[in-house]
Amino acid sequence: MAAKQLASSTLGSPSDTYFFTLAKTGQHFATIGSDDSLRLFDLPTVQLTNEVKGAHGGLACLTTSAEGTTFVTAGRDGRVRIWDPRTAVRLPTLELLEPKSAGISAVACAGNFIAAGTESTKEGLGDVSVLVYDTRSPALPMRSYAESHTDTITQLAWHPTQSNLLLSGSTDGLVSIFDANVQEEEDALMQVLNPRSAVHRAGFLTDDQVYTLSTDEQFSVYGLDKTGTAEEEPLPAHQFGDLRDKLDCMYVVNLAQELFLPGPVLAFGHNVNHTLSLVPLHPPEWGLGSRVDLPGAHGEEVVRGLLFVDPSTALTCGEDGHVRSWALSPSGDGQGDVLAAPGSKKAKRNAKKGAERFAPY
């Protein structure tokens, strides 16, 4: 099934700009670029509404705050900044500092807490930290875990229901699970997973499962040793192997998770074929669902970010310096949920609509 491109824009960026990722707060949308600018834009036109030039020195991270009203950015200048899109967005409403001025390479938000992971400066053990800040007392991080990783932190994620559990992934090939209620790192470290390759993406797939995606496109699902309340036998690990072979792709962008989606969705690209594709994963075995192609995608350039606006509309950004919006429904009108689980009422309804639409008589 093919999606339909609705709009595209460079957001006024220089021709050599890469866009890294996307985020949304309510009706506000944002992206960050290689020129260190934070850009806000609207839908459906994908037109620039505000720009913060030099938002950071080495702007690297963008996410949404836990309450969903502000944007959170971080960079290689060792700063985390919070921006309110409801204002003129000239200055951040809050700034957090990394105590050693180390570059920040990952952020994640939960409640009043912001986790930040740092870049490696190749100085050995203690060089890389996972920090936790309380925005109500922002002067210094309330937690600092500096002995569990030996290379740049690439991913951070809070558990969806147990707000004390924090996941970190690193280019050292390890994924760590911390109990952020515990100050001493040795006691806080609850579990270590070893995908055996640098971690590109990682997060909580369910309450008791973690996924990892390595830089060589190896996808794995692991069970948690502990739920945070009691000792339990973890669910068995699923090793899916190299997704490039299974999906006929050249790279995997990420695994998208939204409350309004029936399940997680893999996004993967093919530079030669100029496509980005989406495939839902269906529990409990995480089998692959029906594929949706975004033809043309970002040409031969790598797609760096995917954001679902709703079940039938998505945004992408990439190294071609464009943000594009897509209708994922068969009719191209943004109506209908093509990523509905097989056998669900939505899936049956969509199939019926498709049959009616394309019946010759």
CA distance 192 to 213: 15
CA distance 275 to 282: 23
Per-residue model confidence (pLDDT) at position 233: 62
Task: Walk along the chain (361 residues) and give the pLDDT tens digit of each residue.
Answer: 899 999 999 999 999 999 999 999 999 999 999 999 999 999 999 999 999 999 999 999 999 999 999 999 999 999 999 999 998 888 999 999 999 999 999 999 999 999 999 999 886 666 899 999 999 999 999 999 999 999 999 999 999 999 999 999 999 999 999 999 999 999 999 999 999 899 999 999 999 999 999 999 999 999 998 554 445 566 768 899 999 999 999 999 999 999 999 999 999 999 999 999 999 999 999 999 999 999 999 999 999 999 999 999 999 999 999 999 999 986 555 455 656 555 555 544 443 443 333 232 2
Question: What are the angstrom distances between the C-alpha of 329 and each of 170, 236, 269?
Answer: 36, 35, 19
Nearest Cα to Cα of residue 166 among 145, 152, 195, 135: 145
Q: Provide the residue type at 161 as one letter.
A: T
Buried b or exposed e, range 285-300, using 16+ CB within 10 angstroms: ebeebebbebeebbee
Nearest Cα to Cα of residue 128 among 156, 159, 96: 156
Buried b or exposed e, range 155-189, using 16+ CB within 10 angstroms: bbbbbeebbbbbbbbbbbbbbbbbbbeeeebeebb
Per-residue model confidence (pLDDT) at position 1: 87
- Displacement of CA 73 from its chain's centroid (Å): 13
Nearest Cα to Cα of residue 261 among 313, 226, 210, 190: 313
For 134, the token pair is 């309380």
Per-residue model confidence (pLDDT) at position 337: 60
Per-residue model confidence (pLDDT) at position 225: 86
Report whether 303 contacts 297 (CB < 8 A).
yes
Report whether 162 contacts 186 (CB < 8 A).
no
Tokens 């975004």 label which residue? 294
Per-residue model confidence (pLDDT) at position 340: 59
CA distance 120 to 294: 36
CA distance 153 to 21: 17
Q: Is 109 helix (H, G, I), strand (E, B) or coil?
A: strand
Per-residue model confidence (pLDDT) at position 211: 97
Per-residue model confidence (pLDDT) at position 358: 29
